[in-house]
Amino acid sequence: MFDLNTRILVVDDMNTMRKIVIKACREIGFSNFVEAPDGAIAWERLSNSKDEIGLVISDWNMPNSTGLELLKNVRTDDGMKAMPFILLTAESEVVQVKEALEAGVDNYIVKPFTTDILKRKLQDTYKKVSA
């Protein structure tokens, strides 16, 4: 599992959803978070403190810059391309998930989700990125 001190970047245009993600992460034991309301601001946060953020949990549908665009930015940046990245999506359409997998997402969670689902996804993602 990820070190519980891992700093998690939580990206969602809905403040309520960011709080839900953070609450679930806190229940799992994490306590270090950075928030961003869209992919563009998230990218700024990653670029300004790339050594401190160790995991990204990002919504898909957001104004300005989507989660998919953020993912593509991360995966094409030499310093950040191995960043663990989980996409949150309300859309269960196979085509969106396929697009995210092709762009190199480590995992995805369909909203709404439980703390147990998030924990399992985090464990799976850790196994995948540390393999």
- Closest approach, Cβ 37 to Mg ion, in A, equals 9
Binding flag, residue 32, Mg ion (CB under 5 A):
no
Residue 95 tokens read as 């085509």
- Residue 25's Cα: distance from chain center in Å? 12
Binding Mg ion (rule: CB under 5 A), the pick from 40, 54, 61, 96 is: 61
Alpha helical stretches, state H, the chain: 15-28, 39-48, 67-75, 94-102, 115-129
Taking the complex as a whole, the smallest distance from the CB of residue 98 to Mg ion amounts, in Å, to 19
Stretch that binds Mg ion, among 36-44, 60-68, 98-106, 111-119 (CB under 5 A): 60-68
CB 98 within 8 Å of CB 90: no
**Residue among 11, 46, 59, 69 that touches Mg ion (CB under 5 A):** 59
Q: Site size for Mg ion, by CB under 5 A?
A: 4
| Residue 77 binds Mg ion, judged by CB under 5 A | no
* 18/35 Cα distance (integer angstroms): 7
Q: Write phi, then psi, for 7 (nearest 5 degrees).
A: -85, 120
Spatial strand order of the sheet with 107-110 comes to 32-36, 7-11, 53-59, 85-89, 107-110
| Residue number with CB closer to Mg ion (59 or 106) | 59
Among 7, 13, 22, 115, the residue binding Mg ion under the rule CB under 5 A is 13
Tell me how far, at minimum, the Cβ of 17 lies from Mg ion, in Å. 7
Contact residues: Mg ion, CB under 5 A = 13, 59, 61-62
